[in-house]
Amino acid sequence: MRSIRVGAALAVGGTLLLATACGGHGGNGTAKAASAGNPGAGSTASAGAAAPSAPASSASAAVVDIEPKDGTTNAAPDALKVAVSGGRLGQVTVTDKSGRQVQGSISADGTSWVPATGLSVADSYQVKAQATDAKGVATSATSSFSTLTPARTSRSQDNVTTGATYGVGMIVSFNFGMPIQNKQAVEQAITFETSDGTQVKGHWMGSSRLDIRPQNFWNVNTQVKIHIRLKNVEVAPGVYGGSDRDESFTISNRAQVSTVDEAAHTMTVQDNGQTTEVVPISGGSDEHPTYNGTMVIEAKEGTAHMTSASVPGLAPGAYDLMVPHSMRLTDSGTYVHGNNWSSAGTFGHQNVSHGCVGLQDAPGDAGGTDTPAAKFYAASMVGDVVKVVNSKGAQVSPDNGLSGWNMPWSAW
């Protein structure tokens, strides 16, 4: 599988090893110069003559600086930096408390080193760095420190169940439950792998919700893996993501797209562009029209309790129904559902609902088992696409349910 990153890609490199001279050992983040004297080989002195003195040792001109300093506690995960003045870095080794090495890279000019990713919170680290000056005289420095333990974390709830299969219109939606300020870091911490190389991109629906989708509907049979690495990301000042996890799902082997024509009172069901069924429907009335636009089944709710309390212009108690074969299309309450209270002649001829798309069903809270509503419910899944055209209603907003397909890719 190819790995696709939601946001801008991060540069990742391993620790770079350059040839160094043997050096002395320093500590507490301060470099100590290595000895460079040489007494000479095979030298002798005549009787009574003073022995030649060894040349004085010379300190390295290279000075290594490590941040955080030795003994630091509560360091931020992005605080680690190694730099040298008067020389070039040769080797930098960073390990956590379990001995695992932190990957990083030395700059092209040899004067700095940074880790490939942020450090872990609530962990401790040891840093060893070596450098040489222009004369090849080596020095080294060390530092030991610990990172902070977050006082606050955000949630990162999403709508994916690992192992599930979804329709071709599936949009992955993350809800963080609070305003996110470091949006780019959050995007970079969520990566997708797809079996066919499909690329995805995220769009913020406000400050606390991130929706992710491809440019076009998914290809059938695509396998998708999501890698979420938010635990060490500061999503807002003093607040960290709190979760590292992996999830996966599969796109269905059929591409079901249903088009509701409110003027014709029909719903045309297609699989990969081929019509499989035309179902008579009753859409939203002129007073309560159905939204136009591309919507996605975001939940299959079976029998849903629906009341007039949330319908503009209707008084509470105007209706109170148990509605069979209900599939939610929007957060505001648009459904495709069974209708077992209207006459059979309504379907295909009249729009009488309060904004939903109704299919004929049998009496009873659960509806029938061989009705148009029952059959469509059984044939549908979360992620299937339902388009509404020729309604007198407004265009559905991209943030109302999984309706992001109504936003052009250039604006996504």
Longest CA span, the chain: 129
Residue among 330, 335, 291 nearest 173 (CA):
330
Q: How confident is the model at residue 317 (pLDDT cuts 50, 70, 90)?
A: confident
Q: How many helices (H) and strands (E) does the chain have?
A: 2, 29
Judge whether residue 231 has pLDDT over 60.
yes
Q: With 70 as the cut, is the pLDDT of residue 148 above it?
A: yes
pLDDT at 27 over 70: no
Place of tokens 């309604």: 391
Relative to beta strand 164-166, strand 244-251 is: parallel
pLDDT of residue 57: 59
Mean pLDDT to the nearest integer, 25-35: 38
pTM above 0.75, yes or no: yes
Residue 63 has what pLDDT? Answer: 98
Strand partners, 112: 83
Alpha carbons 338 and 344: distance in angstroms, whole number:
12
Between 371 and 37, the higher pLDDT residue: 371
Q: Give the pLDDT confidence score for residue 208 in this predicted structure.
A: 98
Q: What is the pLDDT of residues 245-271, one digit of tens each?
A: 999 999 999 999 999 999 999 999 999
Contact 135, 72 (CB under 8 A): no
Q: Which residues of 385-395 are buried (b: 16+ CB within 10 A; e: fewer)?
A: bbbbeebbbee
> How far is the CA of 201 from the CAs of 225, 271, 295, 298, in angstroms?
14, 25, 19, 19
Residue 344: exposure state from Cβ atoms within 10 A (0-12, 13-18, ≥19):
exposed
Nearest to 158 by CA among 225, 229, 211, 236: 211
Percent of the chain with pLDDT over 90: 82
Question: Which residues make Cβ contacts (< 8 Å) with residue 312, sequence separation at least 6?
Answer: none
pLDDT digits (tens, 9 = 90+) for 325-365: 999 999 999 999 999 999 999 999 999 999 999 999 999 99
The pLDDT, as a whole number, for residue 30 is: 41
Q: Which two tokens stand for residue 327?
A: 């599939």
Model pLDDT for residues 367-405, shown as the tens digit of each residue: 999 999 999 999 999 999 999 999 999 999 999 999 999
- Taking Cα atoms as reference points, which of 209, 210, 214 lies closest to residue 224? 214
Planar angle of CA 261, 263, 386, nearest 5 degrees = 20
